[in-house]
């Protein structure tokens, strides 16, 4: 009997300090919008509306909470001292860039929160979670502890769920989570193939590597995750991302490829050795044939793929086995080559049967599209029943979160605003209320001290 399972998507709720600080070298949008004034309220509402539309279509939709920002404990660890206001004032004076890093709302991009292996793939038949160390960027490297707490609080039942700490926080084990991990399968409850895509082999200096921008994910990290999660060779494939793509601004694999079920939708420049990747996946995929939907450079030049975020779309099953829906960012309809390609994709009669546009512009300006904003967790019915239900989006939760955002979030956030001690108070107050709404317990440092 096949096991009934669903894919749940957990979107990161945008935090109250959402801003444009230009922190991510190698991420073109982050750099080009540096110092623009952000609108945290609009950002959070755009995210909630995306979640609501997908929940209304019947998809299992969850929410992951934002983190406490600015993160005062990190500033203290860096030598800033005194009262919280003193700490903020000194950081703003001595190093605005450090203040911006500890104030980033980057936890919204939950595709980077963790790598998740469904129980059908793992040796002990539990769902395995490893928060990503995100060690390539300081502002992201401070996420994994609280991410781990939130995931443990939501997936608490040890009979169903296994949690690992993040990998050692050094560049050789740089891990960016699910953004560099795609699972292909015949059905969510069946054993699948986990495709780990790395940017660089860290411990082999002669191996191919990007020249301009950093490779954030290493083979060493991907292999460690596969070992921790108990994936056999039959369940895991490791593939190198094309270094030229990284140098063109593809800082995560989910900016150039997305998979779901037996479909892999990717750009011809995604992988260093495309033929081997496809052969490795094909030889391991059971119960279904891989359908490779390959986009050529002549149809969509790599630069257009990066600026539209075509591949940072969510690929979702349509009900009744009637193909798949591609949930694309609005920018895809603004770039002629991409818009034309989407029309031809629908005419082609392939597995992708529907395209829907989502407005997540506030996040896009920091290089985060629809797929960056969500963490996928395939769950059997039994696992779904075992998880904490308070984070699953219902009409009522959507209303409560919308009211909560409207009551607590500012509509303008400049770099100067990050030093405002009132912002810290407002954020803590809002997050304290949020853990109550979501029923998560005390996951934040300020609630524990």
Binding ligand SUG (rule: CB under 6 A), the pick from 9, 39, 112, 427 is 112
Task: Look up 356 and say whether it is catalytic.
Answer: no
Residues numbered 134-173 forming contacts with ligand SUG, rule: CB under 6 A: 137, 140
Applying CB under 6 A, the site for ligand SUG has a residue count of: 22
Q: Please provide the DSSP assignment of 186-244 as one string.
A: SSTTS--EEEEEESB-TT-TTS---SSS----BHHHHHHHHHHTT--GGGEEEEEBPHH
29 SS3 class = helix
Are the C-beta atoms of residues 36 and 365 closer than 8 Å to each other? yes
DSSP state of 270: S
Question: Does 109 participate in binding ligand SUG (rule CB under 6 A)?
Answer: yes
Q: Which stretch binds ligand SUG (CB under 6 A): 7-15, 101-109, 189-197, 221-229?
A: 101-109
Binding ligand SUG (rule: CB under 6 A), the pick from 7, 8, 20, 64 is 20
Task: Look up 176 and say whether it is catalytic.
Answer: yes
Q: Closer CB to ligand SUG, residue 364 or residue 392?
A: 364
Least distance to ligand SUG, CB of residue 241, Å: 12
* Residue 363: closest CA among 8, 140, 110: 110
Question: Does 47 participate in binding ligand SUG (rule CB under 6 A)?
Answer: no
Measured CA to CA, the distance from residue 305 to residue 126 in angstroms comes to 36
Record the tokens describing residue 131, joined without a space. Answer: 């928060």
Q: Which stretch binds ligand SUG (CB under 6 A): 106-114, 202-210, 236-244, 381-389?
A: 106-114
Binding ligand SUG (rule: CB under 6 A), the pick from 9, 106, 217, 308 is 106
Annotated catalytic residue: which of 252, 331, 332, 383? 252
Q: Closer CB to ligand SUG, residue 20 or residue 358?
A: 20
Residue 424, C-beta contacts closer than 8 angstroms, at least 6 positions apart: 70, 72, 84, 88
Measured CA to CA, the distance from residue 190 to residue 30 in angstroms comes to 38
Are the C-beta atoms of residues 129 and 156 closer than 8 Å to each other? no
Question: Does 368 participate in binding ligand SUG (rule CB under 6 A)?
Answer: yes
DSSP state of 70: S
Binding ligand SUG (rule: CB under 6 A), the pick from 113, 120, 132, 179 is 179
How remote is the C-alpha of 333 from its chain's centroid?
22
Question: Does 308 participate in binding ligand SUG (rule CB under 6 A)?
Answer: no
Annotated catalytic residue: which of 176, 190, 220, 383? 176
Annotated catalytic residue: which of 71, 220, 372, 408? 372
Measured CA to CA, the distance from residue 301 to residue 278 in angstroms comes to 22
Beta-carbon neighbour count of residue 271 at 10 Å? 22
Least distance to ligand SUG, CB of residue 234, Å: 27
Only one residue has tokens 């191919």, namely: 208
Question: Does 252 participate in binding ligand SUG (rule CB under 6 A)?
Answer: yes
Least distance to ligand SUG, CB of residue 225, Å: 16
Q: Closer CB to ligand SUG, residue 137 or residue 183?
A: 137
Q: Closer CB to ligand SUG, residue 120 or residue 245?
A: 245
Least distance to ligand SUG, CB of residue 224, Å: 20
Task: Look up 332 and say whether it is catalytic.
Answer: no
Least distance to ligand SUG, CB of residue 107, Å: 10
Binding ligand SUG (rule: CB under 6 A), the pick from 6, 23, 278, 300 is 23
414 SS3 class = coil
Measured CA to CA, the distance from residue 81 to residue 74 in angstroms comes to 11
* Residue 306: closest CA among 272, 351, 270, 345: 270
Are the C-beta atoms of residues 141 and 174 closer than 8 Å to each other? no
Helix ranges restricted to H, 229-327? 243-247, 274-284, 302-308
Binding ligand SUG (rule: CB under 6 A), the pick from 12, 15, 16, 22 is 22
Phi, psi of 343 (to 5 degrees): -65, -40
Q: Which stretch binds ligand SUG (CB under 6 A): 65-73, 290-298, 361-369, 436-444?
A: 361-369
Query: Contact positions toward ligand SUG, by CB under 6 A?
Result: 20-24, 27, 30, 104, 106, 109, 111-112, 137, 140, 179, 252, 254-255, 366-368, 372
**Residues designated catalytic:** 176, 252, 372
């Amino acid at each position: 009997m096949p096991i009934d399972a669903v894919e749940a998507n957990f979107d990161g709720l945008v935090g109250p300090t959402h801003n444009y600080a230009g922190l991510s070298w190698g991420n073109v949008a982050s750099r080009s919008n540096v110092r623009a004034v952000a609108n945290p309220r609009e950002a959070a509402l755009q995210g909630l509306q995306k979640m609501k539309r997908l929940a209304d279509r019947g998809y299992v939709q969850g929410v992951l909470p934002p983190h406490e920002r600015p993160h005062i404990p990190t500033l203290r660890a860096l030598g800033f001292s005194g009262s919280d206001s003193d700490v903020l004032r000194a950081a703003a004076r001595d190093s605005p860039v450090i203040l911006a890093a500890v104030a980033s709302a980057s936890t919204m991009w939950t595709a980077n929160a963790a790598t998740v292996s469904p129980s059908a793939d793992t040796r002990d038949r539990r769902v395995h979670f490893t928060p990503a160390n995100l060690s390539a960027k300081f502002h992201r490297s401070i996420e994994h502890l609280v991410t781990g707490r939130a995931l443990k609080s939501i997936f608490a039942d040890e009979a169903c769920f296994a949690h690992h700490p993040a990998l050692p926080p050094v560049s050789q084990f740089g891990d960016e989570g699910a953004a560099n991990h795609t699972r292909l399968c015949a059905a969510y409850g069946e054993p699948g193939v986990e495709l780990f895509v790395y940017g660089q082999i860290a411990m082999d200096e002669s191996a191919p590597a990007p020249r301009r921008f950093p490779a954030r994910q290493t083979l060493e990290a991907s292999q460690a995750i596969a070992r921790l999660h108990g994936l056999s060779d039959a369940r895991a494939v490791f593939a190198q991302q094309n270094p030229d793509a990284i140098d063109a601004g593809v800082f995560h694999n989910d900016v150039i490829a997305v998979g779901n079920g037996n479909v892999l939708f990717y750009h011809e420049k995604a992988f260093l050795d495309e033929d081997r990747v496809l052969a490795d996946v094909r030889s391991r995929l059971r119960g279904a044939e891989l359908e490779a939907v390959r986009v050529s450079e002549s149809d969509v030049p790599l630069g257009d793929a990066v600026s539209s975020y075509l591949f940072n779309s969510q690929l979702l099953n349509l009900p009744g086995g009637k193909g798949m829906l591609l949930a694309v960012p609005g920018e895809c309809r603004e770039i002629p080559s991409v818009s034309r390609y989407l029309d031809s994709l629908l005419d082609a009669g392939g597995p992708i049967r529907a395209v829907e546009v989502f407005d997540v512009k506030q996040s896009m300006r920091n290089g985060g599209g629809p797929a960056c904003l969500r963490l996928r967790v395939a769950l059997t019915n039994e696992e779904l029943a075992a998880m904490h239900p308070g984070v699953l989006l219902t009409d009522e939760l959507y209303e409560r979160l919308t009211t909560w955002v409207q009551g607590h979030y500012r509509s303008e956030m400049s770099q100067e605003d990050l030093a405002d001690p009132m912002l810290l108070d407002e954020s803590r107050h809002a997050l304290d209320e949020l853990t109550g709404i979501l029923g998560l317990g005390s996951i934040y440092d300020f609630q524990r001290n």
